[in-house]
Amino acid sequence: MKARIHPDTRLVVFRDRTADVAFLTRSTADSSRTVEWEDGFTYPVIDVEVSSASHPFYTGRSRVLDSAGRVERFERRYGRSAAARG
């Protein structure tokens, strides 16, 4: 690696508020807010809305999207009638 071209990394806690889970990892991100971790040290904390603990792809829990009405709304908007669908 070339010297002085890479950003400094530090230990940071990423906290997923949705799943109430926190991860301690190295990151270039920084925050003025801190939290005391399980090891007794204080680290910067960054709150995230989605992580591997709460994302449906990783958890296996799918979210139901409202797909009913989308086709009808598209057809109303662009003028395709029931007779044209055949």
Q: What's the number of CA atoms in the CB half-sphere (13 Å) around residue 46?
A: 17
* Reported pTM: 0.60
Separation in Å, CA 26 to CA 3, 13, 30, 75:
19, 8, 10, 50
Give per-residue pLDDT as tens, 18-33: 888 999 999 999 999 9
Provide the sign of the torsion angle of the four alpha carbons 42, 48, 49, 53, taken in this order. Answer: negative
Query: Residue 36 corresponds to which tokens in the numbers above?
Result: 């005391």
Q: What's the first-to-final CA gap in the chain, in angstroms?
A: 64
Q: β-strands 34-36, 10-16: how paired?
A: unpaired
Q: Which residue has the higher pLDDT, 77 or 57?
A: 77
